[in-house]
Structure 1
Amino acid sequence: MASTGKYILLREGTVLTHSTDDHVIPLYDTDILVHDDTIVNIGKAIDAPDAHTEVIECRGKIVSPGFVDTHHHIWQTQLKGRHADQGLVAYMVSGNIMSFVFKPEDAYWGQLSGCLEAINAGTTLVMDHAHIAYTPEHATAALSATLASGIRSILAYTNPLRMSQWDQSCCVPDQDLLPQWAMSQLRDWVGKYNHNNGGSHSSDKVAPTVEVGMGFDLWFLPKDVVLPMLTELGEKGLRVLTTHVGCNAFQGLQSPIPMFSSYGLLQHPHPPSNETTALPFLLLSHCSGIPEDDLALLASTGTPISSTPDTESHMGMGYPVSLHSSLRDSKTANVSIGVDLHTNNPASIPLQARALLQLTRLEHNSCLLAKDTFPAWDVRSSSEEVFNLATIRGARCLGLEGQVGSIAEGKKADLVVFDAKGSVGMLAAAEHDPVTAIIRFSESADIETVLINGDVRKRNGKLVDVAVSRDGIVGKDVGGETHAMKWSDVAEEVRRSQRDIQARIDGLSLDQGRKTLLGMFHVDQGNLVDAL
């Protein structure tokens, strides 16, 4: 793709930069010049390069790095609210395996609106654990919608638990867990989207904002099936693999961390130069309940972890671990945060950071109170710590800290502008400390502008129109004819799709689905109790 020569000048904002040790340094009354997709200058009183330069006035506003979401199931928008008062077991039926009732066009609208909801909240990079690859057409629809949204994404291609039949009388699982069509499509996409085709810049890629990863949870399969598959995909360009991890009476009480270690999968996103492996690196989601020794092993190897505070507390998975002592005190640990389910909580990384901070403080203070002591002065962790999990450390967990996650010359222009001056909630906090203002007091409504890869995706507090591909919707291929669509029109399509999905759900027995799911997971139902 040839350079467009486009310039954007963000003028006189409070720019949140990072030192080499991840300390946040606010630069006041500072300009940022963006050329095409890259930040090329940060300083005072920068002149506009030409008469066509777009100028965004940022006086009284905070310019933050775009937020990084390292675990999210974006396709599920039409299921929002359905399991807001349900635990993990119920969600697996009412949410996870409901991909059964999604047609490819439903996947498209759920994915597109989910991406736009994330952008609206300031997320510029997402690790999307996309378990919507029910058919090749579903997967293509999800990819097409991701591209249309403009979000920077690692779309982790994942085969869901599929059902060959599900109605009022039965729920029968499909025995083909890794269908050949899926492996073929994944290999093709990895080759197409994860290589620069001879170029050295992301602009040379077919899709500069989308990389293809893989989501995988089928660790009960034999090692001699799993490792050759991952090695082959790694040799073709698969860089990131992600999986769910937790130790409890539903997911299993035996930690999988020793198995991952024996497979050679515990590694830093950037392994030392003297270590070569074709295997992708593994990002672990949740990790609640795993033993202390395993957390220490993850910390020492730099294996990335994503905590999702709202889901983990909501669904009984335990305290989120990203600020756990064994990880917080380690210089090699890679930790981050994710939204997980925007169906039961907002798709806002600052809100997840806020929840993580308070849950960590609750856990720590509860231990002090149990000893008849009291936290006297400072409390556990800081707003800066969780801000870093939401930005530079999140990017580091995805191996992309050289491109995004902080504001620096030469990095991609993924930027979020908070209208601190016009905000009700951020008043006075922004003047005291801009990082605290974002983490403790901001709302998505305070986000005025979002840039991703140098393109404005939210302007004056509203999402910009998106170019929707009809070919992508019906699953023929990614690309083709497009037309502009406003957010209000996207929302109407989602509502229409939601009604269609509900009609299909009405034809299912959720009880049959629950029985099938528990049987597949070999769950001891004597360990499942009512939380009321």
Structure 2
Amino acid sequence: MALTGKYILLRGGTVLTHSTDENVVPLYDTDVLVHDDTIVKIGKAIDPPFDAYTEVIECHGKIVSPGFVDTHHHVWQTQLKGRHADQGLVAYMVSGNIMSYAYKAEDAYWGQLSGCLEAINAGTTLVLDHAHIAYTPEHATAALSATLGSGIRSILAYTNPLRLSQWDQSSCVPDQDLLPKWAMSQLSEWLEKYNHNERGNAVAATVEVGMGFDLWFLPKNVVLPMLTELGEKGLRVLTTHVGCNALQGQQSPVPMFSSYGLLQHPYPPSNKKSALPFLLLSHCGGIPKSDLSLLASTGTPISSTPDTESHMGMGFPVSLHSSLRNSKTANVSIGVDLHTFGPASIPLQARALLQLTRLERNSSLLGKDTFPAWDVRSSSEEAFNLATIRGARCLGLESQVGSIAEGKMADLVVFDAKGSVGMLAAAEHDPVIAIIRFSETADIETVIINGTVRKRNGKLVDVAVSRDGVAGKGVGGDADVMKWADVAEEVRRSQKDIQARIERLSIDQGRKTLLGMFHVDQEKLVDAL
């Protein structure tokens, strides 16, 4: 064994591994040895390498889990937290989605950095970030810089939001340039820089550039050549919002995606077999069962976000729908979506998904004058797998992350089960159930991403803040080391500045513009009170 580099030894924990058929196999009183960014050995009583520095993390009475995978999240929105707790999707589209208008590039930086750190604190080690904060090149650069600085593993899906040329108390005017040249140029440059790195290349060890795209009303002869060109430059992951309802429209876009050749199994960076990126669909509430079956048969990845989907009327989450659950080829996962009205915790999303799935099934049985007997629909292990190995598969990264195995990247989360109030007795009964049903973010003692400790002893470690990135002028440059408390103060200051700009805007004008642009039949919009 090489004696150079950095070693971490997680000693004596309950290590959650996966069998070949993806059953979770707890290994008790087991060690995990990490060398640089890789898990190199799993076993009992591993001796730290001689003549090399090894950080030993005692894990007796603790659970060592794979890091959690979040496949749909808008990470930049931290300063908007709390605003959408009692709002539906229509209100959110104005007060959240297009509110990047009120952000300067430095606001984008602090929102993105704190959003990444909140995710890390809750055990997320990999996120597909639908980053609709690319309002200007400077906004996009600030978001990328913050993501890199946080240390989270990210597929940063570069997304142009609906930009506004004017918004004040009397008007709200959309910018007609939906795909500005500067955005395509910046995205292309980033694809060349960040998506052609072999493992071990430190240019961007934890960040890949993807794309978020929802402009499917544009002509096919515009969309397909653009995606083909970007695919040839290294774009691997494309993500979009999908739903069938009175707001988004009742016509499913899945047949269109199929005709475009976008429905395919996610593939890893080392096996880019298509000129086109693969497409990950977020939500999918209300789409026909036949379309769900088509997505399952093609392996097209889906992300359910239980909190927002139930909160905002987007339908029951589909990731444990029978047509997907019973398919051997379906790729399903879960995401946070918005951390503006709830915590950025994937275990909480897994918990919500289980309960909503069971509610749907049980309601169906009760409606037939029958009653659910013995076991309930779906298991905690299924939910755990959606949050780990299946989430990684949806991003084409299952060979690198998503489970604890020798040779995989060291993305690990340690739960202090012994010291937890809520996990007491549950952890001794079943460690997976303990995490999915009983754990809290406060129980997460250690988070390791790419072999680097990002949370230690229950506290986020200090982060390097790039002053160039704050200004939106570049990635890298001189950096200051900041504690979480100092980052939080910058977010509070930024929040006040954003609020002052919001107060100069007419929310009503913004609502009228959005509803008019999307040709919404407003007679179908009713209060849910």
Same fold (TM over 0.5): yes
Does residue 97 of structure 1 match 2:67? no
The residue aligned with 1:444 is 441
Distance 2:395 2:195 in 1: 14
Which one-letter code corresponds to 2:486 in the other structure? D
Distance 1:147 1:18 in 2: 29
Alignment of 1:357-506 (within 5 A): 357-506=354-503
Does residue 40 of structure 1 match 2:37? no
Q: What TM-score, normalized by structure 1, do the two folds share?
A: 0.98
| Shift in alpha-carbon separation, 1:121–1:9, aligned structure 2, 3 A | same
Whether the 8 Å CA contact 1:195–1:205 is kept in 2: the answer is no
The residue aligned with 1:531 is 528
Which one-letter code corresponds to 1:13 in the other structure? G
The residue aligned with 1:68 is 69
Distance 2:455 2:469 in 1: 23
Q: CA RMSD in A?
A: 1.4
Q: Deviations over 1:316-372 (max 9, x none)?
A: 010000000000000000000000000011100000000000000000000000000
Runs of 4+ in 1 over 2 A off after TM superposition: 273-277
Q: Deviations over 1:457-483 (max 9, x none)?
A: 000000000000000111111000001
Structure 2: runs of 5+ lacking an equivalent: none
Alignment of 1:190-205 (within 5 A): 190-196=191-197, 200-201=198-199, 203-205=200-202
Q: Deviations over 1:220-256 (max 9, x none)?
A: 0000000000000100110000000000000110000
Instruction: Indicate the SS of the match to 2:204.
Output: coil
Distance 2:449 2:273 in 1: 32
The Cα shift of 1:277 comes to 2.2
Alignment of 1:117-266 (within 5 A): 117-196=118-197, 200-201=198-199, 203-266=200-263
The Cα shift of 1:4 comes to 6.6
Distance 2:518 2:4 in 1: 52
Which one-letter code corresponds to 1:15 in the other structure? V
Find the partner of 2:327 among 307, 327, 330: 330
The Cα shift of 1:518 comes to 0.3
Instruction: Indicate the SS of the match to 1:484.
Output: strand
Instruction: Indicate the SS of the match to 1:178.
Output: coil
The residue aligned with 1:55 is 56
| Shift in alpha-carbon separation, 1:276–1:57, aligned structure 2, 3 A | closer
The Cα shift of 1:433 comes to 0.1
Distance 1:209 1:4 in 2: 22
The Cα shift of 1:108 comes to 0.2
Which one-letter code corresponds to 2:218 in the other structure? L
Whether the 8 Å CA contact 2:38–2:409 is kept in 1: the answer is yes
Distance 1:274 1:13 in 2: 35
Q: Deviations over 1:21-79 (max 9, x none)?
A: 11000000000000000000000000011352100000000000000000000000000
Q: Deviations over 1:255-280 (max 9, x none)?
A: 00000000000000139x99942000
Distance 2:262 2:202 in 1: 27
Whether the 8 Å CA contact 2:413–2:448 is kept in 1: the answer is yes
The residue aligned with 1:289 is 286
The residue aligned with 1:303 is 300
Distance 2:190 2:354 in 1: 38
Find the partner of 1:352 among 345, 349, 367: 349
Distance 2:419 2:34 in 1: 25
Matched residues, number: 526
Distance 1:187 1:406 in 2: 32
Instruction: Indicate the SS of the match to 2:15.
Output: strand
Whether the 8 Å CA contact 1:193–1:205 is kept in 2: the answer is no
Whether the 8 Å CA contact 1:353–1:439 is kept in 2: the answer is yes
The Cα shift of 1:206 comes to 1.2
Distance 1:253 1:279 in 2: 27
Whether the 8 Å CA contact 1:30–1:42 is kept in 2: the answer is yes
Alignment of 1:69-84 (within 5 A): 69-84=70-85
Q: Among the aligned pairs, what percent are the same residue? A: 86
Find the partner of 1:507 among 500, 504, 507: 504
Does residue 6 of structure 1 match 2:1? no
Q: Deviations over 1:161-181 (max 9, x none)?
A: 000000000000000000000
Distance 1:238 1:343 in 2: 29
| Shift in alpha-carbon separation, 1:274–1:135, aligned structure 2, 3 A | closer
The Cα shift of 1:205 comes to 4.5
Whether the 8 Å CA contact 1:129–1:156 is kept in 2: the answer is yes
Which one-letter code corresponds to 2:514 in the other structure? L
Distance 1:89 1:451 in 2: 38
